[in-house]
Structure 1
């Protein structure tokens, strides 16, 4: 299921200038697909300003998300992989940003469960961090689905 969500929403970039830009960049595919609108992107950024780096769920991996206040049209997931880490608040370096959009509070539970399976396994997480192409990232994810 996870690979289906990410099939068209993976991006690989060398670097971004700020953690805010990392969220905007990670969200671009969801915006382009009409799954979210600009207000949702701003809500994700505002959450970090207000609550800090709680979205850095494990070292090196951030999962920006926000409550749907009308900015999410359809459940979605996108992934941005950076070569150079970007610093999130509290000096947390991040190279993988997974933007999560859910229409309601239950709509993302399956996605989070699948993500936990990937990120909870150090070998899988390391393979994901070392992946150098979209196909490689999809292959890693499919290997545990």
Structure 2
């Protein structure tokens, strides 16, 4: 399956987020605008970090926000948020974060495939910095190798 398409509605560049919760809500709001999820999914992403800690900060500067598949996921979706000022999530090594990915997967079976595709993408250590510097949704899609 790989990664879902990334619509212009799902890309937010140079955003301002005073806290990690605000950063996750930007990523979740982009998923909602793209038609992939409901607001409940955004709150589930925040709850995952409240419950399990900042495990979503998977590499320096990068948070990978997601929650479990369920009724709040309308279809597979991806969002990308870049922050004008990095924000701390509380991760001991990978803070602060300036790129937040949001992922919503409708089916349990494809959830791990999508996570694997994201992990493979970010094996290239330059991807986070390139995304942080992106100025258009087309540039973000080109860096990530995903369609609109």
TM exceeding 0.5: yes
Task: Measure how far apart 1:140 and its partner are.
Answer: 1.8
**Whole-Å Cα distance in 1 between the matches of residues 35 and 141 of structure 2?**
22
Q: Aligned match of 1:134 in 115, 134, 137?
A: 137
Number of corresponding residues: 142
Q: 1:138 to 1:117 in 2, by over 3 A?
A: same
Q: 1:140 to 1:90 in 2, by over 3 A?
A: closer
Question: SS of the counterpart of 1:39?
Answer: helix
Q: 1:114 to 1:28 in 2, by over 3 A?
A: same
Task: Measure how far apart 1:20 and its partner are.
Answer: 0.7
Gaps of 5+ in 1: none
**Whole-Å Cα distance in 1 between the matches of residues 39 and 15 of structure 2?**
24
Who is 1:34 aligned against? 35
**Whole-Å Cα distance in 2 between the matches of residues 53 and 123 of structure 1?**
22
Question: SS of the counterpart of 2:108?
Answer: coil
Q: 1:111 to 1:68 in 2, by over 3 A?
A: closer
**Whole-Å Cα distance in 1 between the matches of residues 51 and 101 of structure 2?**
19
Who is 1:88 aligned against? 89
**Whole-Å Cα distance in 2 between the matches of residues 54 and 120 of structure 1?**
17
Q: Give the stretch that moved more between structures: 90-99 or 130-139.
A: 130-139
The alignment yields a C-alpha RMSD, in angstroms, of 2.1
Q: Aligned match of 1:115 in 102, 115, 118?
A: 118
Gaps of 5+ in 2: none
Q: TM-score by structure 2 length? A: 0.83
| Over 4 Å off, 4+ runs | none
Q: TM-score by structure 1 length? A: 0.85
